[in-house]
Amino acid sequence: MSVLDFTMKDIDGKNVPLAKFQGKVLLIVNTASQCGYTPQYKGLQEIYQKYKDQGFEILAFPANEFGAQEPGTDDQIKQFCSSNYKVSFPLFSKIVVKGKAIHPLYEFLTGEATNPKHAGPIPWNFAKFLVNRKGEVVSRFQPGVKPESPELSSAIEKALAEK
């Protein structure tokens, strides 16, 4: 099983099979609109612009588990991201990223059995999972790692270089 086996609802409520991203490098991020890390949307948009033509996508999953910092509806989240950060990468419908009601995608991303190298609960908003072109998680970055950091850029470039 890989990340590409999941189907998710986008911010407009349409089903999106993640298999459509096969052959691309993905950065999967749980996001929030009222968090100290919310300005990372700017950096995410910058790295998306920098790498998208090389086969890179960012998949943003709003979540309200941490400090109730994503209370809005999907429409409100979409409007916020568009008007404040000009986000053009894929935004998905709000999901649960930890606890008993965890979404199966995040259960897969954080599970010891399914992702032993990068397992463990999501600590806060803006945790990042880097996924290679085959749908395998290759790196995990903590919320405090900025999208434009050399550490993340280097990992993205390495994943993009692998065919």
**CATH code for the domain in which residue 99 is found:** 3.40.30.10
Residue-wise pLDDT tens for the chain (163 aa)?
899 999 999 999 999 999 999 999 999 999 999 999 999 999 999 999 999 999 999 999 999 999 999 999 999 999 999 999 999 999 999 999 999 999 999 999 999 988 888 999 999 999 999 999 999 999 999 999 999 999 999 999 999 999 8
Global confidence as pTM: 0.97
Could you tell me the residue range of the domain that residue 134 belongs to? 3-161
> What is the set of active-site residues?
35
Query: Do 151 and 140 touch, CB atoms closer than 8 A?
Result: no
Query: Do 33 and 74 touch, CB atoms closer than 8 A?
Result: no
Number of domains in the chain: 1
